[in-house]
Amino acid sequence: MSADHAAEHPPTRLDRRKERTRAALIAAAGEFLAEGRTAVSIQQITDAAGVGFGSFYNHFDSKEALFEAAVESVLDIYVAFRDEIVSGYDDPAEVFAVSFRMTGRLQRQIPEMVRVLLNEGTRVLTRGTGLAPRALTDIEASIKAGRFDIESAQLGLMAAGGALLGLLQLLDAEPDLDAGEVSDLMTARVLRGFGMTKEDAADLCSRPLPEPPAL
C-alpha cells in the first residue's frame, strides 16, 4: 500500500484493535520463548496475552506460526538497533567487531529478548533475517578488504555465531560477570581466529563504543 493510499485510508478502530491483539499475542509468545516454554497450549497463550481464544486464528494459523513471528519481532528490533550503531563506521572489520561487542552487552540490557534468541539456538544462524545475513555481509567485506584471512565466509559465520551464542549463554548463566569485558575478550578471540594479529584485535576491541540507541 502506498503512503498516499494509507493517508487516504487511515487505520480504523477495528484495525487498531486487531493490531493490539496481534502485538499482545506476539509479546506473550516472546515471554514463553524467553522462559523456554514452547509446550504451552494456545489457551495458555491467549490467557497470557489477555485476549479471547477465538481471536487467535484471526492472526495465526498455528502456535508455531506465532512463535515464528515472535522470533522475527526480536530480530527486527535487533537489526534496527545494530544498524543504527554501526552506521558511522567504514571499516567492515570494525563494523563486525562493534556488532559483536554490542550484541554481548545486549544480554544485560534486554535479557528477555536475548533469551528468545538463545531458545532459537543455532537455527538463528541460518535465517535470512536478523543477525546472520548482516554478519555474513561484514565477514565477506572484511575478506575482500584484506582484513580477515579465512577460507569461507559461511564457515566464518558459523564459527562467530557459535561463539556469540556461547557468550550470550554464559552471560545469562553468570549475572555477576562484566558483560562489557567478557564481550570484548570474546570478540578479540574471534577476530584472531579470522586472521587478525593479537595487537590489531585488541585495538579494535578497546575502542569506545557509540552510545546505544533507546530500546
Report H helices in the chain: 3-8, 13-34, 42-49, 63-86, 92-109, 111-120, 131-144, 153-173, 179-193, 198-206
* Domain spans in the chain, listed from the N-terminal domain onward: 12-60, 70-206
| Cβ count within 10 A of residue 143 | 20
pLDDT tens string 73-99: 999 988 998 999 999 999 999 999 999
- Assess whether pLDDT exceeds 90 at residue 13: no
Q: For the structural domain made of 70-206, what CATH number should be given?
A: 1.10.357.10
pLDDT tens string 44-72: 999 999 999 988 999 999 999 999 999 99
SS3 letters across 85-115: HHCCCCCHHHHHHHHHHHHHHHHHHCHHHHH
Closest CA to 30 of 85, 73, 70: 70
Band of pLDDT at residue 4, cut at 50, 70 and 90: low
The pLDDT assigned to 6 comes to 52
Mean pLDDT of 4-30: 80
| Cβ count within 10 A of residue 70 | 24
The pLDDT assigned to 195 comes to 97
Closest CA to 114 of 207, 211, 190, 179: 179
Band of pLDDT at residue 213, cut at 50, 70 and 90: confident
Domain 12-60: top CATH class:
mainly alpha
pLDDT tens string 131-159: 899 999 999 999 999 999 999 999 999 99
Which residue is it, cell 506473550?
Answer: 28
- Assess whether pLDDT exceeds 70 at residue 7: no
Q: Are 178 and 104 in contact (CB under 8 A)?
A: no
The pLDDT assigned to 94 comes to 97
**pTM, rounded to two decimals:** 0.85
Q: Are 184 and 206 in contact (CB under 8 A)?
A: yes
Q: Are 93 and 191 in contact (CB under 8 A)?
A: yes
- Assess whether pLDDT exceeds 70 at residue 1: no
pLDDT tens string 157-169: 999 999 999 999 9
